[in-house]
Amino acid sequence: MKQELLILTCLSFLACKKIKTENQPFNDYQARTNLSLAFEEFPIQGTTIRAIQVLNDSTVWFAGSGGNFGYTQDNGKSWHRDVEEYQGKKLEFRSLKVQPNGDVFLVGVADPAVVLKSSDNGISWNVVYEDLTPNAFFDAIEFWDEKHGMLLGDPVNGCFHIALTNDGGDTWNKVDCSVLPPALANEAPFAASNTNIAVMNNRGWFATGGKSESRVYYTTDKGLTWNVSSTPIVSGKQMTGIYSIDFIDEMNGVVVGGNWDKVNENWQNIAVTSDGGMSWNVVADSANLGYHSCVKFIPGTRGKELLATHARASNGPNGISYSNDRGITWQSLENRGLITVRFANRNLAWLAGKNKIARLTITP
């Protein structure tokens, strides 16, 4: 969301291969009740990191403000860091995607709104898509497979900017407004933690917020056509709505968010679906930490366990919370000021925020 860029100065996980058992019945898994967390933090000064991607147990990419991007290949012992500019400006990176073939995509959100691609581990970059109009704002990028991907941008004149690729990101074509549900007034995605898009098989979802309504748009044909559903997530203010969305399979998903301006408000800010995003039900109403920036299903837990972050790049209340019953109840775990999270496996996650990345080991 463009307004958020003006107020704030985050991350897409390569879930290399979904564990096949995720689609088995939820009650086949005994969820953990008490987690023990061990953090190791790595300073990455001078940037707010909203986009990370975990490739394996030891390799993590990141992208942030001030044109910063980089990676570790040795579990954080050393970090490669670089800065990318375009048209003489350091780009504001809010979204990142690393493909299985090694292609890397970075999204500069605005001024300019641009998509960069590298096929040599970030040594060189090519502009593969851009929108230099004053109102352009790119929120996120995601891929269904090595060929098919989508770019999401804020709506202009009631039409969301969705561009698709079918050649691995070399060329992109904007989806015609005639096949998109019209955006409501003051409705847009939030580019807070690079988790406002979720994809699985041929399906995809993206979430919105704002003054009008908080909604979820969904596709069953890799972005060619779209429908939209209303959600009960809070709306009515510029910074209210859905900030993060995740799915464990084609039917079961979760959205989180709230009021960025009043982070302690904890009602109508978590909802779940069991019908692929067509309908949503509020859970944990008035019984959670408040505003959420990111939520992720923990892999290998059959959709029962989730981890959520509660933080802004600016100062204010923050934390990490855990659910072992698909979001119905939550436990407060840590206060770390981390905005976004991605998992390598059931017991290992990476998080990031302002000036830092953290490695999280979970036991038992």
pLDDT per position as a tens digit, 229-259: 999 999 999 999 999 999 999 999 999 999 9
**Mean pLDDT over the full length of the chain:** 92
pLDDT per position as a tens digit, 57-67: 899 999 999 99
Mean pLDDT throughout 192-211? 98
Mean pLDDT throughout 280-299? 97
pLDDT per position as a tens digit, 340-351: 999 999 999 999
Task: Report helix, strand or coil for 28.
Answer: helix
Mean pLDDT throughout 279-299? 97
16, 56 contact by CB (below 8 A):
yes
pLDDT per position as a tens digit, 73-125: 999 999 999 999 999 999 999 999 999 999 999 999 999 999 999 999 999 99
pLDDT class for 364, splitting at 50, 70, 90?
Answer: confident
Mean pLDDT throughout 264-282? 97
Q: What are phi and psi of 161, to 5 degrees?
A: -90, 100
Q: Taking 80 as the threshold, does the pLDDT of residue 11 lie above it?
A: no
pLDDT of residue 26: 53
Mean pLDDT throughout 138-158? 98
**Residue 235, both tokens:** 């709306």
Q: Percentage of residues in the chain with pLDDT exceeding 70?
A: 92
The more confident residue out of 316 and 360 is: 360
pLDDT of residue 2: 52
- Each domain of the chain, given as residue ranges in start order, spans 2-17+37-363
Residues linked to residue 73 through DSSP beta bridges, in sequence order: none
Four-way CATH pick for 2-17+37-363: 2.130.10.10, 3.40.225.10, 3.40.605.10, 3.40.50.300: 2.130.10.10
pLDDT of residue 313: 82
Tell me how far apart the alpha carbons of residues 57 and 73 are, in angstroms, rounded to a whole number. Answer: 9
283, 272 contact by CB (below 8 A):
yes
**Nearest C-alpha neighbor of 106 from the set 133, 88, 127, 89:** 127
Contacts of residue 68, defined as CB under 8 A and 6 or more positions apart, other chains included, come to: 44, 46, 47, 49, 62, 81, 82, 83, 93
The more confident residue out of 359 and 57 is: 359
Q: Percentage of residues in the chain with pLDDT exceeding 90?
A: 87
Query: What strands lie across the sheet with 319-323, from one edge to the other?
Result: 294-297, 306-310, 319-323, 331-334
Contacts of residue 71, defined as CB under 8 A and 6 or more positions apart, other chains included, come to: 59, 60, 61, 62, 79, 80, 121, 122
Residues linked to residue 37 through DSSP beta bridges, in sequence order: 362
pLDDT class for 37, splitting at 50, 70, 90?
Answer: very high
pLDDT class for 1, splitting at 50, 70, 90?
Answer: low
